[in-house]
Amino acid sequence: MFLINCPVIKLNFKKFMLQSARKIHIIGIGGIGVSALAKLLARRGITITGSDLIESSVTKDLEFDGQRIFIGHTAENVPSDCDLIIYSPAVPENNSERVAARERGLPELSYPEALGELTKEFRTIAVAGTNGKSTTTAMLGLILEEAGFDPTVIVGTKVPTFKHGNMREGKGGSWLVVEACEYREHFLNLHPEFAVITNIEEDHFDYFRDLDHIREAFQKFVDKVPEIGRVIFNADDLTCHSLVYKNSVSFGEHNGEYRAVNRISGLGQQTFELWLDDSHLGDIVLQVPGQFNVMNAMAAAVTALVIGVPFGAIQVGLEKFFGVWRRFERVGNFRGAEVFSDYGHHPTAIKATLEAAREFFPGRRIVLCFQPHQHERAKSMFNDFVEALSGADVLILPEIFEVAGRTEDTDVSSNDLVMAIKEKFPTKEVVFASNLSAAEQLLNTVIQENDVLIVQGAGDVDNLARRIVL
């Protein structure tokens, strides 16, 4: 009885499940992080099948990669010879495939649990934060690749220079760089030697009570870093600064041991100086816009320095970084306007993206088509959204994207945001769209030549951005 209840045995059993499995079925495989793990496991010789509610570019990539993907969930999707189930946290217990797997006695791991077991096999760098973690993860992966560290990377976006997009497979390298999600404290499943924190802000109020609750989760996360490791954190962020660290290194523009100084932004490029205390280490050139990307680059550069990467490799790696999928991604031209797709769905990310666009495209009209992501977020951060969205010259707001597996209180609508913005900013050109088709019709009437159009949100609004540029 003691052995059954012993938590060490449970953890080892999970590790044994992942390492010994030869045929794994993944439910909710269309998630961007989940699909990256699927690709990595397939390259280890494991047979992967999977299912998702809808077909997407992610599921198509997996099929092209050789995986068998089912669209829709049914008990029959679970292969008869499957020996492990991995499921997305968005997939509920009563999902037909999870029920069938339990009836057959198949072991299950959630995606965060499976990722946690993987982190035990490497010297793991986990990148966390409310905003910027995907970009920072990608930047750091490219720097380590440039330096010959041969990292394995799992990131919640597609990186153009990675052969497999959201995953890079190291060929025998000992390093793993992984994006660490704070939602429902999923990052507590990870076992990092190094942790990076870009910032900590209010978000995910369908789980967290308030900012203090979020802070508590991040404190647990940094407490997992061993004495021999390091936590690299943003000293300009008050909540980051309030955490207690065993062994840390700080960065920022105004605070921290490492500082970004003399940022200069022009058309298509920005530069800054990297200083350590009173020593100028050198200049860094970025091909991506915005002060927020300087902070992302700082997080990646300082982490690389901490683990022993030469500064020259950091400079080259960052200068080669041209952005990632749905992070201020230039997707084409529509009626004479340049079109960008962006994943940002938090008020801070919206504000930063609009500021970056104005820096890179001075004097041009900024049109924002923003799809709010999840009703609970829109409701709990309503006033913050009103302020952030008002930064666009023209604003189109499609109805809120409902998220499967999340708490959805539908008594708030994008139209409520429109009315609030009009009341506070009466001269602002802002329009509600009942769906993406209506949003597309509105874009056809408002877009002018030489506009900058940003199509933003974490839902399916990206489909609109790519459709109109065809």
Where residue 5 falls among pLDDT bands split at 50, 70, 90? very low
Give the per-residue pLDDT at 47. 96
Q: What is the pLDDT of residues 171-185, one digit of tens each?
A: 888 999 999 999 899
Contact in structure between 373 and 336 (CB atoms under 8 Å): no
Nearest to 212 by CA among 242, 184, 181: 242
Return d(Cα 18, Cα 23) in angstroms, integer. 10
Q: Which residues contact 344 (CB under 8 A, 6 or more apart)?
A: 131, 350, 352, 353, 456, 457, 458
Q: What is the pLDDT of residues 126-170, one digit of tens each?
A: 999 998 999 999 999 999 999 999 999 999 888 988 999 999 999
Q: What is the pLDDT of residues 213-230, one digit of tens each?
A: 999 999 999 999 999 999
CA angle 129, 340, 33 (to 5 degrees): 40
The alpha carbons of the chain give a radius of gyration, in whole angstroms, of 22
What does the block give as tokens for 61? 């990539």
Return d(Cα 55, Cα 65) in angstroms, integer. 15
Contact in structure between 44 and 19 (CB atoms under 8 Å): no
Return d(Cα 431, Cα 398) in angstroms, integer. 9
Where residue 11 falls among pLDDT bands split at 50, 70, 90? very low
Average pLDDT over residues 74-91: 95
Nearest to 67 by CA among 112, 33, 24, 20: 24
Is residue 427's pLDDT more than 60?
A: yes
CA angle 133, 134, 138 (to 5 degrees): 115
- The dihedral over CA atoms of 203, 209, 214, 219, expressed in degrees to the nearest 10, equals -170
Give the per-residue pLDDT at 13. 52
Is residue 428's pLDDT more than 70?
A: yes
Check whether domain 21-111 has CATH 3.20.20.70, yes or no:
no
Is residue 4's pLDDT more than 50?
A: no
Where residue 405 falls among pLDDT bands split at 50, 70, 90? low
Return d(Cα 386, Cα 372) in angstroms, integer. 12
More confident residue, 236 or 363: 236
Nearest to 169 by CA among 129, 122, 213: 122
335-339, 363-367, 455-459, range with the lowest pLDDT:
455-459
Where residue 406 falls among pLDDT bands split at 50, 70, 90? low
Average pLDDT over residues 433-451: 93
Out of 3.40.50.360, 3.40.50.300, 1.10.1040.10, 3.40.1190.10, the CATH code matching 120-319 is: 3.40.1190.10
Q: Which residues contact 212 (CB under 8 A, 6 or more apart)?
A: none
Average pLDDT over residues 381-406: 86
CA angle 185, 188, 193 (to 5 degrees): 140
Q: Phi-psi region for residue 455, left (φ > 0), alpha (ψ -120 to 50) or beta? A: beta
If 0-12 CB within 10 Å is exposed, 13-18 middle and 19+ buried, where does residue 94 land? exposed
Domain boundaries, the chain: 21-111, 120-319, 329-468
CA–CA distances in Å: residue 102 to residues 11, 105, 284, 428: 19, 5, 53, 54
Give the per-residue pLDDT at 2. 32
Return d(Cα 16, Cα 22) in angstroms, integer. 12
What does the block give as tokens for 348? 């801070």
Nearest to 230 by CA among 253, 196, 257: 196
Q: Answer positive or negative: Cα dihedral of 422, 424, 429, 433.
A: negative
Task: Give me the CATH code for the 329-468 domain, please.
Answer: 3.90.190.20
Is residue 6's pLDDT more than 50?
A: no
Q: What is the pLDDT of residues 257-291, one digit of tens each?
A: 999 999 998 767 899 999 999 999 999 999 988 88
Q: What is the pLDDT of residues 95-109, one digit of tens each?
A: 999 999 999 999 999
Is residue 1's pLDDT more than 50?
A: no
* Phi and psi at residue 47, to the nearest 5°: -80, 120
Give the per-residue pLDDT at 7. 43
Is residue 10's pLDDT more than 70?
A: no
Q: Which amino acid, 238?
A: L
Nearest to 115 by CA among 187, 43, 200, 206: 187
Name residue 108's beta-bridge partners.
Answer: 85
Name residue 24's beta-bridge partners.
Answer: 48, 84
Average pLDDT over residues 286-309: 95
Is residue 189's pLDDT more than 60?
A: yes
Q: What is the pLDDT of residues 26-56, one digit of tens each?
A: 999 999 999 999 999 999 999 999 999 989 8
Where residue 16 falls among pLDDT bands split at 50, 70, 90? low
Where residue 305 falls among pLDDT bands split at 50, 70, 90? very high
Nearest to 137 by CA among 120, 160, 152, 155: 155
Where residue 381 falls among pLDDT bands split at 50, 70, 90? confident
